[in-house]
Amino acid sequence: MLLEWTDLLNEINDLFVKVTCDKIFKNEKEDFLIHVKNCLKLNNPQDWNYILASEDILDDSNAAISSFLKFGMSGPTKYEDLGEKYLRLYGVLNAIYMQQQAILNLYKFFQCKNLKLLKEKLKASETIEIRHKLASHSVSYNDQASDQIHAFVPVRIEMDDFKCSYFNPVNDAYESADLKKGIEEHLVLMCTTYIEIFKKTVSTIYKCNTDKTNTILTLLDPFEKMINGCKLMKDKTTGQFVVLEFV
C-alpha cells in the first residue's frame, strides 16, 4: 500500500502513542498522573489529559481530511448537491484548524523549542487563511494590513471538488485556491512538526539511555524519507515499510 500524507500522519501518531505508552506502562505507579508526569517529563500532571485529547483529535480530523482528499467536495455519492459541498468545504477547513491546534498542544506540552515560530508558520498557512475567510469569520474577517473588516462568499458556480473560488463584496476582490495542493502542504507541515515533537520527546524521556533513543528514532527514517521526496509503501502482511527512491 502506497502511503498518502494522511496515512503518514496516522503512522507517526500511532508510533508516538505506542512509544509514550510503553514508557508509562512499563512500571506503572499508584498515582497515575504523577507517574505519567515523571515518565514523560511534563510540567503538570494534568497535561496528560490534554495530550490524549490532542492525539485523538489528530486521528479524528485526519479521517475527515482523508475523506475530502478521496472524494472532494461532492462526497462519495457524487450527487450534485450544493448543501453537501458546503458541509464538506466547511468541514475540511475546520478539520485542518483542529489538527493544527492539536499539534500545537503536543508541541507545547512536550516543551519543544520555538513555539512562537511554529505559531507563525501555522498562521501563514494558505488553508488556514481560507478557513478564517470562509468557515469562521466569513462576514467579520479582520484584514490586519488594511485594518478593515472584510466579508467573503464562496462562488457557487465554481465550487469544484478541489477548487474553491470566493468573492469579497467589500472591495470586489476575487480569489481562487487549489484546495488539494493547500491541504497536502498542510499535511507535510503536520508530519514534519510531529516528527520534531517525537524526536524531542524521545530524547528527553530516554535522556540517559542513548542506545534506546537511537533505536526508537531509527523508526522515523522511512517517514523522513517520504517527507524528503521518496514514495513509501507499507506491506499489509508484515507491517514493514519499503522506501521507493527516485532520482
State the Cα–Cα distance between residues 68 and 245, nearest whole angstrom: 28
Residue 30 confidence (pLDDT)? 76
User: Between 47-71 and 32-40, two packed helices, what is the crossing angle to 10 degrees?
Assistant: 70
- Using one digit for the tens of pLDDT, what is the confidence trace for 72-128? 999 998 888 999 999 999 999 999 999 999 999 999 999 999 999 999 999 999 999
Please report, for the chain, the start and end positions of each structural domain, with discontinuous segments joined by +: 5-132+178-244
Within 8 A by CB and 6+ apart from 211, the residues are none
Buried b (16+ CB within 10 A) or exposed e, 109-130: bbebeeeeebeeebeebebbeb
DSSP state of 166: E
Question: Does the structure show a pLDDT above 80 at 160?
Answer: yes
Please give the C-alpha separations between residue 135 and each of 166, 177, 183, 191, 212, in angstroms, as whole numbers.
12, 15, 15, 24, 45
Indicate the pLDDT class of residue 145, thresholds 50, 70 and 90. Answer: confident
Mean pLDDT, residues 44-53 taken together: 97
Residue 213 has pLDDT above 70, yes or no: yes
Distance, CA of 44 to CA of 42 (rounded, Å): 6
- Rounded Cα distance, 42 and 15, in Å: 19
pLDDT, residue 21, reads 95
Query: Alpha-carbon distance 18 to 132, whole Å?
Result: 34
Query: Which residue in the block uniquely carries the three cell numbers 493544527?
Result: 100
Q: Which three cell numbers stand for residue 177?
A: 485556491
